[in-house]
Amino acid sequence: MIATVGLLATSPIAPAQQINQPAQQVGEPAQQVVQPAPQVNQLAQQQAEAPEQLRQAAADGATYVAPPEQLVTIIREGRVPSTLDQLLALETQQKKIAKRAAACTVNIQINGHEAGNTQGCGVIISEDGFVLTAAHVAERPGLRVKLTLADGRSFTARTLGMNRKVDAGLIRIDPGQNQGKPWPHASLGDSKHLRPGMWCIATGHPGGYDIHRGMVTRVGRILSIRTGSIVTDCALIGGDSGGPLFDMQGRLIAVHSRIGNDVADNLHVPVHHYEDSWDDLYAGKSWGFLPGFRPVLGVRGNPNSQLAVVDSVRDNSPAEQAGIMAGDIIERLGPDVITDFDSLKQAVAQTMPGKRVIVRLQRNGEIKRLIVEIGRDTRYDE
């Protein structure tokens, strides 16, 4: 099934959800925001704070709802309600959680490239504004983010680290934007002791933020537990990526990652992956590739050359489709300045498959700019 999965962010992987408006260059302020993003020294100060404080702050989140006695066994063991009263109680429990989840489920829009914007979702998990999302939503460390709450207010944030092996990403809301008030945040759960059949609640902003529609809630059950993911039948579509998955007590247990064979067969990043690699995510590190989603450009060159000279272009590759030819000297790929072939490889590795970026190159002494959509190697499995 991994070979057929698709990412849930509204990106070039899901063309129907592409945002058709000019993208901003890296460093430009996001539109309709409350305050500009912090300067580099402010960001460094944020990252110097102790990660342990976050874990403690997240423990008192506001989404937890104690279940009534008649639901305790049903929730714990993933049973089906056997009476109408139990069914109605389960519905009431879901409504209470959804109402609380709306405040901390956010829409994320990133303008970190030239050829179109992408967006997904996230979930605030601390009163000082840390946000969990999917790595393919966050894209890469250090990008400017526009984050929109359920009430329509927008704020600036920056991407921190990401573990692409499991699709986990971290974002931090820039300080000083909430009038000194704590951010609404989710109660953290435990994803290491789940079982198939357990009830769960998925929230998000599918297709992008819509103030008239609001947050969308879907109820389902856990189908299976895997090493790097939780599989549920909660119906998700493009734009839901990075949104939260709660258990039936309102505790965050996972983050939406990708669609399986259909919209009712979805994979989520267990929340313990964020906890286990928190220090690296907090420090802004990024590593790994999601199985089946290794980014590919499709060119070869001499790693010892002082320039990124293209020696050959693979047939039917993204590079060939974009018009890149042997002999071209690549100088820039998206926001990355290319100095040699190794830097080109690093720039491709930092770009999510399906992302359209502008390539600046020299050809016979002339400067050309082409748009390339980064491909993915479905054969790759780390």
**φ, ψ for residue 60, nearest 5 deg:** -110, 30
The β-bridge partners of 19 are 117
- Helix-then-strand count for the chain, H and E: 9, 23
Tens-digit pLDDT profile for residues 217-253? 999 999 999 888 899 999 888 889 999 999 999 999 9
Neighbours of 365 (CB within 10 A): 6
Please, are residues 154 and 45 in contact by the beta-carbon 8 Å criterion?
no
The tens place of each residue's pLDDT in the chain, 382 residues long, gives 333 345 665 543 232 232 222 222 222 322 333 333 333 344 344 444 434 544 444 456 789 999 999 999 999 888 999 999 999 999 999 999 999 999 999 999 987 544 456 789 999 999 999 999 999 899 889 889 999 999 999 999 999 999 998 999 999 999 999 988 999 999 999 888 899 999 999 999 988 888 888 899 999 999 999 888 899 999 888 889 999 999 999 999 999 998 776 666 789 999 999 999 999 999 999 898 877 778 899 999 888 888 999 999 999 999 999 999 999 999 999 888 999 988 898 888 888 888 888 999 999 999 999 999 988 887 644 4
In whole angstroms, what is the distance from residue 333 CA to residue 351 CA? 9
In whole angstroms, what is the distance from residue 32 CA to residue 10 CA? 20
Q: Exposure string (b/e) for 323-350, b if CB count within 10 Å is 16 or more?
A: ebeeebbbbbbbbbebebbeebbebbbb
Please, are residues 106 and 123 in contact by the beta-carbon 8 Å criterion?
yes
Please, are residues 168 and 255 in contact by the beta-carbon 8 Å criterion?
yes
Tens-digit pLDDT profile for residues 320-343? 999 999 999 999 998 889 999 888
Please, are residues 131 and 125 in contact by the beta-carbon 8 Å criterion?
yes
The predicted model scores a pTM of 0.77
Question: What per-residue confidence (pLDDT) applies to 12?
Answer: 31
SS3 243: coil
Token readout for 121 is: 């979702």
